Structure 1
Amino acid sequence: MAEWSAVRRCADLERLGVFYAFMKVLVRRLTLVVLRPRIEGRENIPASGPVILASNHLSFIDSIIIPLVSPRRVAFLAKEEYWTTPGIKGWFMKGFFTGIGAVPVRRGDHRAAQASLDTSLEVLESGVAFGIYPEGTRSLDGRLYRAKVGVGWLALKSKAPIVPVGIVGTDEVLPVGAKFPRLIRMTLRFGEPFTADQVEFPGEAVAENSRARRAVADAVLTEIQKLSGQEYAGVYNERPVED
Protein backbone atom coordinates (compact mmCIF):
# COMPACT_ATOMS: atom_id res chain seq x y z
CA MET A 1 0.00 0.00 0.00
CA ALA A 2 1.02 3.61 -0.51
CA GLU A 3 1.77 4.47 3.10
CA TRP A 4 3.96 1.43 3.74
CA SER A 5 5.72 1.93 0.39
CA ALA A 6 6.60 5.40 1.60
CA VAL A 7 8.08 3.86 4.72
CA ARG A 8 10.24 1.57 2.60
CA ARG A 9 11.47 4.55 0.60
CA CYS A 10 12.26 6.40 3.81
CA ALA A 11 14.15 3.34 5.02
CA ASP A 12 16.70 4.08 2.29
CA LEU A 13 17.53 7.28 4.15
CA GLU A 14 17.90 5.37 7.37
CA ARG A 15 20.49 3.08 5.80
CA LEU A 16 22.70 6.11 5.34
CA GLY A 17 22.89 6.15 9.12
CA VAL A 18 23.01 9.94 9.50
CA PHE A 19 19.71 10.76 11.18
CA TYR A 20 19.31 7.36 12.78
CA ALA A 21 22.69 7.68 14.50
CA PHE A 22 21.90 11.26 15.46
CA MET A 23 18.57 10.38 17.05
CA LYS A 24 19.55 7.14 18.75
CA VAL A 25 22.96 8.18 20.02
CA LEU A 26 23.33 11.93 20.43
CA VAL A 27 19.72 12.90 21.13
CA ARG A 28 19.11 9.89 23.36
CA ARG A 29 22.10 10.74 25.51
CA LEU A 30 21.20 14.41 25.66
CA THR A 31 17.62 13.55 26.60
CA LEU A 32 18.65 11.22 29.40
CA VAL A 33 21.24 13.66 30.75
CA VAL A 34 19.32 16.93 30.38
CA LEU A 35 15.70 15.91 30.94
CA ARG A 36 16.50 12.94 33.21
CA PRO A 37 13.22 11.09 32.60
CA ARG A 38 12.14 8.55 35.17
CA ILE A 39 11.63 5.23 33.40
CA GLU A 40 9.75 2.36 35.05
CA GLY A 41 8.99 -1.11 33.72
CA ARG A 42 11.07 -0.93 30.55
CA GLU A 43 11.74 -4.66 30.98
CA ASN A 44 8.04 -5.26 30.21
CA ILE A 45 8.65 -4.53 26.52
CA PRO A 46 9.26 -7.85 24.71
CA ALA A 47 12.75 -8.05 23.24
CA SER A 48 11.50 -9.14 19.84
CA GLY A 49 8.37 -9.73 17.80
CA PRO A 50 5.34 -7.52 17.22
CA VAL A 51 4.08 -5.52 20.19
CA ILE A 52 1.65 -2.62 20.62
CA LEU A 53 2.76 0.18 22.93
CA ALA A 54 -0.50 1.91 23.86
CA SER A 55 0.06 5.24 25.58
CA ASN A 56 -1.76 8.28 26.86
CA HIS A 57 -0.93 11.45 24.91
CA LEU A 58 -0.09 14.79 26.50
CA SER A 59 2.49 16.42 24.23
CA PHE A 60 4.11 16.31 20.79
CA ILE A 61 7.26 15.10 22.55
CA ASP A 62 5.56 11.80 23.49
CA SER A 63 6.24 10.35 20.03
CA ILE A 64 9.91 11.24 20.42
CA ILE A 65 10.59 10.28 24.02
CA ILE A 66 8.99 6.81 23.85
CA PRO A 67 11.23 5.59 20.99
CA LEU A 68 14.27 7.19 22.65
CA VAL A 69 13.85 5.39 25.98
CA SER A 70 12.59 2.11 24.52
CA PRO A 71 15.12 -0.75 24.33
CA ARG A 72 13.97 -1.39 20.74
CA ARG A 73 12.73 0.62 17.82
CA VAL A 74 9.17 1.91 18.05
CA ALA A 75 7.19 3.06 15.00
CA PHE A 76 4.51 5.76 15.31
CA LEU A 77 2.17 7.09 12.65
CA ALA A 78 2.82 10.66 11.49
CA LYS A 79 1.15 12.80 8.86
CA GLU A 80 2.66 12.35 5.41
CA GLU A 81 3.34 16.09 5.08
CA TYR A 82 6.47 15.53 7.15
CA TRP A 83 7.83 13.54 4.20
CA THR A 84 6.51 15.69 1.34
CA THR A 85 7.32 19.25 2.44
CA PRO A 86 9.79 20.75 -0.07
CA GLY A 87 13.09 22.52 0.61
CA ILE A 88 15.62 22.28 3.42
CA LYS A 89 12.90 22.25 6.07
CA GLY A 90 11.23 19.32 4.35
CA TRP A 91 14.54 17.45 4.02
CA PHE A 92 15.23 17.87 7.72
CA MET A 93 11.71 16.81 8.76
CA LYS A 94 11.84 13.75 6.54
CA GLY A 95 15.16 12.70 7.99
CA PHE A 96 14.09 13.49 11.55
CA PHE A 97 10.85 11.52 11.48
CA THR A 98 12.48 8.68 9.59
CA GLY A 99 15.21 8.59 12.22
CA ILE A 100 12.77 8.19 15.10
CA GLY A 101 10.93 5.41 13.28
CA ALA A 102 7.77 7.31 12.31
CA VAL A 103 5.48 5.92 9.59
CA PRO A 104 3.89 8.34 7.06
CA VAL A 105 0.11 8.18 6.62
CA ARG A 106 -2.59 10.32 5.06
CA ARG A 107 -5.08 11.80 7.50
CA GLY A 108 -8.58 13.01 6.91
CA ASP A 109 -11.77 11.03 6.23
CA HIS A 110 -12.94 7.59 7.34
CA ARG A 111 -11.11 5.87 4.50
CA ALA A 112 -7.88 7.53 5.59
CA ALA A 113 -8.48 6.31 9.16
CA GLN A 114 -8.92 2.72 7.98
CA ALA A 115 -5.86 3.04 5.76
CA SER A 116 -3.91 4.13 8.84
CA LEU A 117 -5.05 1.03 10.71
CA ASP A 118 -4.13 -1.17 7.74
CA THR A 119 -0.68 0.41 7.71
CA SER A 120 -0.37 -0.12 11.46
CA LEU A 121 -1.23 -3.79 11.01
CA GLU A 122 1.38 -4.19 8.28
CA VAL A 123 3.99 -2.59 10.52
CA LEU A 124 3.15 -5.05 13.31
CA GLU A 125 3.17 -8.02 10.95
CA SER A 126 6.73 -7.08 9.99
CA GLY A 127 7.72 -7.71 13.64
CA VAL A 128 8.14 -4.08 14.68
CA ALA A 129 7.09 -2.49 17.97
CA PHE A 130 4.26 -0.08 17.18
CA GLY A 131 3.15 2.91 19.25
CA ILE A 132 -0.44 4.10 19.32
CA TYR A 133 -2.50 6.65 21.26
CA PRO A 134 -5.92 5.08 21.97
CA GLU A 135 -7.39 8.54 22.74
CA GLY A 136 -6.66 9.57 19.15
CA THR A 137 -5.12 12.95 19.90
CA ARG A 138 -3.45 14.97 22.64
CA SER A 139 -5.28 15.88 25.82
CA LEU A 140 -5.26 19.65 26.35
CA ASP A 141 -6.59 19.55 29.90
CA GLY A 142 -4.55 16.63 31.25
CA ARG A 143 -7.51 14.28 31.56
CA LEU A 144 -7.62 10.82 30.00
CA TYR A 145 -10.23 10.52 27.26
CA ARG A 146 -12.22 7.54 26.06
CA ALA A 147 -10.32 5.15 23.81
CA LYS A 148 -11.27 4.83 20.17
CA VAL A 149 -11.84 1.26 19.04
CA GLY A 150 -8.95 1.27 16.56
CA VAL A 151 -6.58 -0.08 19.21
CA GLY A 152 -9.03 -2.94 19.84
CA TRP A 153 -9.22 -3.72 16.12
CA LEU A 154 -5.44 -3.70 15.85
CA ALA A 155 -4.92 -5.94 18.88
CA LEU A 156 -7.54 -8.46 17.75
CA LYS A 157 -6.37 -8.49 14.16
CA SER A 158 -2.63 -8.75 14.88
CA LYS A 159 -2.87 -10.83 18.08
CA ALA A 160 0.18 -8.87 19.22
CA PRO A 161 0.69 -8.31 22.96
CA ILE A 162 -0.20 -4.87 24.29
CA VAL A 163 2.10 -2.98 26.63
CA PRO A 164 0.22 -0.08 28.29
CA VAL A 165 2.25 3.09 28.75
CA GLY A 166 1.55 5.86 31.25
CA ILE A 167 3.29 9.18 30.65
CA VAL A 168 3.38 11.91 33.28
CA GLY A 169 4.72 15.44 32.86
CA THR A 170 5.44 15.75 29.13
CA ASP A 171 2.72 18.43 28.89
CA GLU A 172 4.85 20.51 31.25
CA VAL A 173 8.11 19.73 29.44
CA LEU A 174 6.72 20.80 26.07
CA PRO A 175 3.28 22.46 26.37
CA VAL A 176 1.14 22.99 23.27
CA GLY A 177 2.56 25.93 21.32
CA ALA A 178 5.99 25.86 22.99
CA LYS A 179 9.05 25.79 20.72
CA PHE A 180 11.61 24.59 23.25
CA PRO A 181 11.35 22.03 26.07
CA ARG A 182 11.54 23.04 29.72
CA LEU A 183 13.82 21.24 32.16
CA ILE A 184 11.07 19.45 34.06
CA ARG A 185 11.34 15.75 34.84
CA MET A 186 8.86 13.46 33.14
CA THR A 187 7.93 9.90 34.00
CA LEU A 188 7.31 6.98 31.65
CA ARG A 189 5.79 3.79 33.04
CA PHE A 190 5.57 0.63 30.94
CA GLY A 191 2.99 -1.82 32.26
CA GLU A 192 2.86 -5.59 32.00
CA PRO A 193 1.90 -6.92 28.56
CA PHE A 194 -1.42 -8.61 27.92
CA THR A 195 -3.26 -9.89 24.86
CA ALA A 196 -6.73 -9.23 23.52
CA ASP A 197 -7.86 -12.79 24.24
CA GLN A 198 -7.33 -12.14 27.95
CA VAL A 199 -10.16 -9.58 27.90
CA GLU A 200 -13.69 -10.80 28.58
CA PHE A 201 -16.35 -9.93 26.00
CA PRO A 202 -19.31 -11.62 24.32
CA GLY A 203 -18.77 -13.29 20.98
CA GLU A 204 -15.64 -14.28 19.08
CA ALA A 205 -12.21 -12.79 19.63
CA VAL A 206 -12.08 -11.31 16.13
CA ALA A 207 -11.65 -7.76 14.86
CA GLU A 208 -15.07 -7.90 13.17
CA ASN A 209 -16.77 -8.22 16.58
CA SER A 210 -17.65 -4.62 17.52
CA ARG A 211 -18.22 -5.50 21.19
CA ALA A 212 -14.82 -7.18 21.31
CA ARG A 213 -13.15 -4.08 19.82
CA ARG A 214 -14.81 -1.86 22.40
CA ALA A 215 -13.99 -4.16 25.33
CA VAL A 216 -10.32 -4.40 24.37
CA ALA A 217 -10.06 -0.63 23.86
CA ASP A 218 -11.61 -0.02 27.29
CA ALA A 219 -9.29 -2.57 28.91
CA VAL A 220 -6.27 -0.86 27.38
CA LEU A 221 -7.38 2.52 28.67
CA THR A 222 -7.97 1.12 32.15
CA GLU A 223 -4.37 -0.11 32.27
CA ILE A 224 -3.06 3.21 30.99
CA GLN A 225 -4.99 5.07 33.69
CA LYS A 226 -3.45 2.88 36.40
CA LEU A 227 -0.01 3.97 35.17
CA SER A 228 -0.70 7.64 34.47
CA GLY A 229 -3.03 8.41 37.38
CA GLN A 230 -5.09 10.76 35.20
CA GLU A 231 -8.67 11.75 35.81
CA TYR A 232 -10.94 9.94 33.33
CA ALA A 233 -13.02 12.31 31.18
CA GLY A 234 -15.50 9.62 30.08
CA VAL A 235 -15.96 11.14 26.61
CA TYR A 236 -14.05 11.19 23.33
CA ASN A 237 -11.49 13.89 22.69
CA GLU A 238 -12.83 15.33 19.45
CA ARG A 239 -10.23 18.05 19.01
CA PRO A 240 -8.88 18.03 15.41
CA VAL A 241 -5.63 16.05 15.17
CA GLU A 242 -2.68 18.36 14.59
CA ASP A 243 0.26 16.22 15.75
Structure 2
Amino acid sequence: MTGWPDIDITDAEAVADRRDEVVAAVRDHAGQIAYALARLQGGDYGQRTVDTDDGAWTVKYEAGDLEYLRFDPKSGSEVYVVSTKQPPEPEPLATALADYDAFVAAFDEHVASLAGVLDGSPTEFPDPAPVDGVVAERDRIVGAIRDTCDAIAHALRRYEGGDYGTFATRVDGTRWELKWDEDGTSYLRVGGEGGIYLLSQYAPPAAPDLREYAPQFSGFVDAYNEYVDDLESDLATVSL
Protein backbone atom coordinates (compact mmCIF):
# COMPACT_ATOMS: atom_id res chain seq x y z
CA MET A 1 0.00 0.00 0.00
CA THR A 2 1.71 3.18 -1.22
CA GLY A 3 0.84 6.67 -2.23
CA TRP A 4 -0.78 7.83 1.03
CA PRO A 5 -0.78 11.66 1.31
CA ASP A 6 1.44 13.27 3.92
CA ILE A 7 -0.24 14.03 7.25
CA ASP A 8 0.87 16.46 9.90
CA ILE A 9 1.65 14.11 12.78
CA THR A 10 0.78 16.86 15.25
CA ASP A 11 -2.79 16.81 14.11
CA ALA A 12 -4.08 13.90 16.25
CA GLU A 13 -7.60 14.15 14.93
CA ALA A 14 -6.43 13.91 11.34
CA VAL A 15 -4.22 10.94 12.19
CA ALA A 16 -7.09 9.15 13.91
CA ASP A 17 -9.43 9.86 11.00
CA ARG A 18 -6.86 8.52 8.54
CA ARG A 19 -6.28 5.47 10.75
CA ASP A 20 -9.99 4.74 10.83
CA GLU A 21 -10.20 5.14 7.06
CA VAL A 22 -7.34 2.69 6.53
CA VAL A 23 -8.71 0.15 9.02
CA ALA A 24 -12.12 0.29 7.33
CA ALA A 25 -10.50 -0.39 3.95
CA VAL A 26 -8.53 -3.32 5.38
CA ARG A 27 -11.67 -4.64 7.11
CA ASP A 28 -13.53 -4.70 3.81
CA HIS A 29 -10.67 -6.40 1.98
CA ALA A 30 -9.80 -8.90 4.73
CA GLY A 31 -13.50 -9.62 5.11
CA GLN A 32 -13.40 -11.16 1.65
CA ILE A 33 -10.53 -13.37 2.78
CA ALA A 34 -12.49 -14.38 5.90
CA TYR A 35 -15.50 -15.30 3.77
CA ALA A 36 -13.30 -17.34 1.44
CA LEU A 37 -11.76 -19.15 4.41
CA ALA A 38 -15.18 -19.95 5.81
CA ARG A 39 -16.11 -21.55 2.50
CA LEU A 40 -12.80 -23.42 2.21
CA GLN A 41 -12.85 -24.74 5.76
CA GLY A 42 -16.53 -25.60 5.60
CA GLY A 43 -17.79 -23.90 8.73
CA ASP A 44 -19.12 -20.66 10.12
CA TYR A 45 -16.44 -20.38 12.80
CA GLY A 46 -12.69 -20.78 12.59
CA GLN A 47 -9.32 -19.19 11.98
CA ARG A 48 -6.17 -19.63 9.95
CA THR A 49 -2.64 -18.32 10.27
CA VAL A 50 -0.66 -17.39 7.15
CA ASP A 51 3.12 -16.90 7.39
CA THR A 52 5.15 -14.30 5.54
CA ASP A 53 8.85 -13.45 5.62
CA ASP A 54 8.21 -10.74 8.21
CA GLY A 55 5.68 -12.43 10.48
CA ALA A 56 2.40 -14.27 10.74
CA TRP A 57 -1.15 -13.12 9.99
CA THR A 58 -4.12 -14.71 11.72
CA VAL A 59 -7.60 -14.37 10.29
CA LYS A 60 -10.46 -15.31 12.61
CA TYR A 61 -14.01 -15.40 11.35
CA GLU A 62 -17.40 -15.91 12.93
CA ALA A 63 -20.59 -16.70 11.02
CA GLY A 64 -18.57 -16.13 7.87
CA ASP A 65 -17.64 -12.55 8.82
CA LEU A 66 -14.23 -11.24 9.83
CA GLU A 67 -13.84 -11.18 13.62
CA TYR A 68 -10.23 -10.06 13.76
CA LEU A 69 -7.06 -9.78 11.73
CA ARG A 70 -3.87 -10.02 13.79
CA PHE A 71 -0.27 -9.50 12.71
CA ASP A 72 2.56 -11.07 14.73
CA PRO A 73 5.84 -9.60 13.44
CA LYS A 74 9.04 -11.54 13.86
CA SER A 75 10.34 -8.53 15.76
CA GLY A 76 8.04 -6.52 17.98
CA SER A 77 4.60 -6.89 19.49
CA GLU A 78 1.50 -8.25 17.84
CA VAL A 79 -1.09 -5.83 16.54
CA TYR A 80 -4.77 -6.36 15.88
CA VAL A 81 -5.16 -4.60 12.56
CA VAL A 82 -8.90 -5.30 12.69
CA SER A 83 -10.79 -6.28 15.82
CA THR A 84 -14.13 -5.90 17.56
CA LYS A 85 -12.48 -3.78 20.25
CA GLN A 86 -10.31 -0.69 20.00
CA PRO A 87 -8.51 0.28 16.79
CA PRO A 88 -4.72 -0.14 16.57
CA GLU A 89 -2.15 2.52 17.26
CA PRO A 90 -1.00 4.27 14.05
CA GLU A 91 2.65 3.17 14.17
CA PRO A 92 2.01 -0.59 14.73
CA LEU A 93 -0.69 -0.35 12.08
CA ALA A 94 1.76 1.13 9.63
CA THR A 95 4.27 -1.65 10.39
CA ALA A 96 1.63 -4.29 9.77
CA LEU A 97 0.35 -2.71 6.57
CA ALA A 98 3.88 -2.74 5.17
CA ASP A 99 3.50 -6.55 5.16
CA TYR A 100 -0.16 -6.72 4.16
CA ASP A 101 0.52 -7.28 0.45
CA ALA A 102 2.77 -10.22 1.38
CA PHE A 103 -0.05 -11.64 3.50
CA VAL A 104 -2.50 -11.44 0.61
CA ALA A 105 0.04 -13.08 -1.70
CA ALA A 106 0.61 -15.89 0.82
CA PHE A 107 -3.13 -16.43 1.13
CA ASP A 108 -3.49 -16.55 -2.64
CA GLU A 109 -0.67 -19.10 -2.75
CA HIS A 110 -2.51 -21.22 -0.17
CA VAL A 111 -5.67 -21.14 -2.26
CA ALA A 112 -3.74 -22.00 -5.41
CA SER A 113 -2.16 -25.00 -3.66
CA LEU A 114 -5.64 -26.47 -3.23
CA ALA A 115 -6.45 -26.38 -6.92
CA GLY A 116 -7.02 -29.90 -8.19
CA VAL A 117 -6.64 -31.48 -4.74
CA LEU A 118 -9.99 -33.24 -5.20
CA ASP A 119 -9.37 -34.32 -8.78
CA GLY A 120 -10.04 -38.04 -9.03
CA SER A 121 -11.96 -38.18 -5.78
CA PRO A 122 -14.92 -40.57 -6.06
CA THR A 123 -18.46 -39.27 -6.20
CA GLU A 124 -20.16 -42.66 -6.34
CA PHE A 125 -20.18 -44.89 -3.27
CA PRO A 126 -21.62 -48.25 -2.24
CA ASP A 127 -25.08 -48.24 -0.71
CA PRO A 128 -25.01 -48.34 3.11
CA ALA A 129 -26.45 -51.43 4.72
CA PRO A 130 -29.97 -50.87 6.10
CA VAL A 131 -30.37 -50.82 9.87
CA ASP A 132 -34.12 -51.38 9.95
CA GLY A 133 -33.82 -54.96 11.17
CA VAL A 134 -31.35 -54.14 13.94
CA VAL A 135 -33.39 -51.15 15.10
CA ALA A 136 -36.63 -53.14 15.10
CA GLU A 137 -35.08 -55.96 17.15
CA ARG A 138 -33.51 -53.49 19.57
CA ASP A 139 -36.83 -51.69 20.03
CA ARG A 140 -38.60 -55.02 20.59
CA ILE A 141 -36.18 -56.06 23.34
CA VAL A 142 -36.08 -52.60 24.94
CA GLY A 143 -39.89 -52.45 24.82
CA ALA A 144 -40.19 -55.79 26.62
CA ILE A 145 -37.70 -54.67 29.28
CA ARG A 146 -39.56 -51.39 29.73
CA ASP A 147 -42.93 -53.12 30.09
CA THR A 148 -41.54 -55.30 32.88
CA CYS A 149 -39.81 -52.38 34.58
CA ASP A 150 -42.97 -50.27 34.40
CA ALA A 151 -44.87 -53.07 36.12
CA ILE A 152 -42.20 -53.16 38.84
CA ALA A 153 -42.27 -49.35 39.10
CA HIS A 154 -46.04 -49.23 39.54
CA ALA A 155 -45.90 -52.00 42.15
CA LEU A 156 -43.17 -50.21 44.08
CA ARG A 157 -45.11 -46.97 43.92
CA ARG A 158 -48.16 -48.69 45.41
CA TYR A 159 -46.11 -50.35 48.13
CA GLU A 160 -43.88 -47.42 49.08
CA GLY A 161 -46.63 -44.82 48.69
CA GLY A 162 -44.53 -42.14 46.99
CA ASP A 163 -44.09 -40.71 43.53
CA TYR A 164 -40.33 -41.29 43.30
CA GLY A 165 -37.96 -44.04 44.34
CA THR A 166 -35.35 -46.60 43.37
CA PHE A 167 -34.89 -50.33 43.58
CA ALA A 168 -31.29 -51.57 43.48
CA THR A 169 -29.85 -55.05 43.60
CA ARG A 170 -26.86 -57.03 42.41
CA VAL A 171 -26.89 -59.60 39.63
CA ASP A 172 -23.73 -61.73 39.51
CA GLY A 173 -21.89 -58.99 41.39
CA THR A 174 -23.03 -56.14 39.12
CA ARG A 175 -25.27 -53.39 40.47
CA TRP A 176 -28.62 -52.88 38.77
CA GLU A 177 -30.71 -49.86 39.65
CA LEU A 178 -34.26 -49.06 38.63
CA LYS A 179 -35.38 -45.49 39.22
CA TRP A 180 -39.09 -44.83 38.98
CA ASP A 181 -41.45 -41.90 39.16
CA GLU A 182 -45.16 -41.26 38.86
CA ASP A 183 -45.08 -42.04 35.12
CA GLY A 184 -43.30 -45.37 35.47
CA THR A 185 -39.66 -46.18 34.75
CA SER A 186 -37.26 -43.26 34.77
CA TYR A 187 -34.18 -45.38 34.03
CA LEU A 188 -32.67 -48.83 34.38
CA ARG A 189 -28.91 -48.60 34.86
CA VAL A 190 -26.33 -51.36 35.04
CA GLY A 191 -22.98 -50.78 36.72
CA GLY A 192 -23.60 -47.87 39.08
CA GLU A 193 -22.55 -44.28 38.38
CA GLY A 194 -21.18 -44.04 34.85
CA GLY A 195 -22.79 -47.37 33.96
CA ILE A 196 -24.92 -48.48 31.03
CA TYR A 197 -28.49 -47.23 30.74
CA LEU A 198 -30.64 -50.01 29.33
CA LEU A 199 -33.62 -47.69 29.77
CA SER A 200 -33.58 -43.92 29.98
CA GLN A 201 -35.57 -40.85 29.05
CA TYR A 202 -33.04 -39.95 26.39
CA ALA A 203 -31.51 -42.46 23.97
CA PRO A 204 -31.86 -46.23 23.60
CA PRO A 205 -28.86 -48.40 24.52
CA ALA A 206 -26.24 -49.38 22.00
CA ALA A 207 -26.79 -52.77 20.42
CA PRO A 208 -23.59 -54.30 21.93
CA ASP A 209 -24.62 -53.15 25.43
CA LEU A 210 -28.10 -54.54 24.97
CA ARG A 211 -26.69 -57.84 23.71
CA GLU A 212 -24.46 -58.10 26.81
CA TYR A 213 -26.99 -57.20 29.48
CA ALA A 214 -30.40 -58.24 28.15
CA PRO A 215 -29.75 -61.93 28.97
CA GLN A 216 -29.00 -60.87 32.57
CA PHE A 217 -32.24 -58.93 32.93
CA SER A 218 -34.09 -62.03 34.13
CA GLY A 219 -31.67 -62.13 37.08
CA PHE A 220 -32.74 -58.60 37.97
CA VAL A 221 -36.41 -59.61 37.85
CA ASP A 222 -35.67 -62.68 39.97
CA ALA A 223 -33.99 -60.44 42.56
CA TYR A 224 -37.05 -58.18 42.60
CA ASN A 225 -39.35 -61.17 43.06
CA GLU A 226 -37.24 -62.37 45.96
CA TYR A 227 -37.52 -58.90 47.47
CA VAL A 228 -41.34 -59.11 47.21
CA ASP A 229 -41.33 -62.61 48.69
CA ASP A 230 -39.35 -61.33 51.66
CA LEU A 231 -41.88 -58.54 52.16
CA GLU A 232 -44.74 -61.03 52.12
CA SER A 233 -42.99 -63.31 54.61
CA ASP A 234 -42.39 -60.34 56.90
CA LEU A 235 -46.09 -59.47 56.88
CA ALA A 236 -47.09 -63.12 57.38
CA THR A 237 -45.69 -62.92 60.91
CA VAL A 238 -47.99 -60.05 61.84
CA SER A 239 -51.04 -61.06 63.88
CA LEU A 240 -54.04 -58.87 64.69
Q: Do both share a fold (TM > 0.5)?
A: no
Could you state the TM-score of these two structures normalised by the residue count of structure 1?
Answer: 0.19
Larger RCO (CA within 8 A; separation ≥ 6)? 1
* CA radius of gyration, larger in: 2
Higher strand fraction (1 or 2): 2
